[in-house]
């Protein structure tokens, strides 16, 4: 007799705003290609003050795991039973694995970022970087670059978020050999000469504000620099489009998104997904 088991395996993402997050597109495509027809990815809008309730719901529904995006990457750590050493160091969690009610937090953002750089032939060891932003994504990126041997990181962010920048600098100073500094972002920022890597780790340019670009003096970005955006939707932000026109080496946030999503799927299912399938699904969805 054919086995009858229609139990759904649920994963997803908590965030706000989250409607424009294309995670469901690439995750569901990966599950289908892997033959995991009862696995489903849910895109869930969660208010800041309802995060604890959402975590209780995750446990109640016995969801296998969840991604956390803006604004929950830091706050969610208060509700977890265990956190990886790298996520503790970063001070932010972007994914959770539910092992029979025991919630384990990990950060795959920075790892996905580093994999994207590597695929573009960029090695951070001994390099100088400028990172825009100081939130969860920026933390992961800066820490991973610091641990990989980046020589110098300049963190550029809004003056009102100075505490976030100071906290990130403290993490880098205490755990890496990277020189670092924080600069208030209060006008068009010019990239210093000698910079090797420029990272937009902010939400500027994210759908639906697709015509907006970070307040950067683009003339200060030269062809010997590499620019990495973290925004996956649209697949090419206004910043990336302009840089391509200028002949500046750059990469979209799609690579970082696909790589971290693949790592998440492997941790949830124990199986490696086909990244090519995930890329194709993302391109088709956002075309």
CA of residue 36 relative to chain centroid, distance? 25
**Identified catalytic residue from 73, 111, 127, 128:** 73
Burial (CB count <10 Å: 0-12, 13-18, 19+), residue 152 = middle
DSSP state of 219: G
Q: Across-strand partners of 180?
A: 153
Neighbour tally for 179: CB within 10 Å:
14
Q: Among this protein's residues, is 59 annotated catalytic?
A: no
CB burial readout 2-35, b (16+ within 10 A) else e: eeeeeeebbbbbbbbebebbbbbbbbbbbbeebe
* Bridge-based pairing state of the strands 216-217 and 9-15: unpaired
Judged by phi (left if over 0) then psi (alpha if -120 to 50, else beta), residue 160 lies in alpha
Q: Which of 115, 125, 128, 155 is CA-nearest to residue 139?
A: 155
Residues assigned a catalytic role:
73
């Amino acid at each position: 007799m054919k086995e009858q088991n229609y139990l759904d395996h649920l994963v997803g993402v908590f965030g706000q705003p989250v409607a424009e997050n294309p995670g469901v597109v690439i995750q569901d495509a990966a599950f289908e290609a892997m033959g995991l027809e009862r696995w489903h990815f849910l895109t869930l809008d969660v208010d800041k003050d309802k995060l604890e309730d959402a975590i209780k719901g995750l446990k109640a529904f016995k969801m296998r795991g969840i991604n956390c995006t803006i604004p929950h990457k830091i706050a969610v750590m208060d509700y977890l039973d265990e956190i990886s050493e790298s996520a503790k160091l970063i001070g932010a969690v972007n994914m959770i694995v539910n092992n029979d009610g025991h919630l384990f937090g990990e950060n795959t953002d920075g790892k996905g970022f580093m994999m994207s750089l590597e695929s573009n032939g960029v090695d951070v060891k001994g390099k100088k970087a400028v990172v825009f932003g100081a939130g969860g994504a920026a933390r992961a990126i800066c820490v991973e670059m610091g641990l990989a041997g980046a020589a110098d990181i300049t963190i550029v962010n809004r003056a009102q978020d100075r505490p976030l920048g100071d906290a990130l600098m403290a993490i880098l100073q205490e755990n890496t050999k990277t020189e670092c500094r924080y600069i208030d972002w209060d006008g068009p920022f010019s990239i210093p000469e000698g910079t090797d890597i420029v990272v937009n780790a902010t939400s500027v340019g994210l759908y639906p504000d697709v015509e907006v670009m970070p307040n950067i003096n683009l003339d200060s970005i030269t062809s010997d620099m590499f620019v990495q955006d973290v925004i996956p939707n649209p697949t090419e932000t206004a910043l990336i489009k302009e840089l391509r026109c200028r002949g500046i080496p750059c990469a979209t946030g799609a690579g970082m998104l696909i790589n971290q999503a693949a790592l998440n799927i492997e941790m949830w299912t124990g199986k490696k997904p086909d990244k090519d399938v995930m890329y194709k699904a993302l391109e088709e969805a956002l075309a």
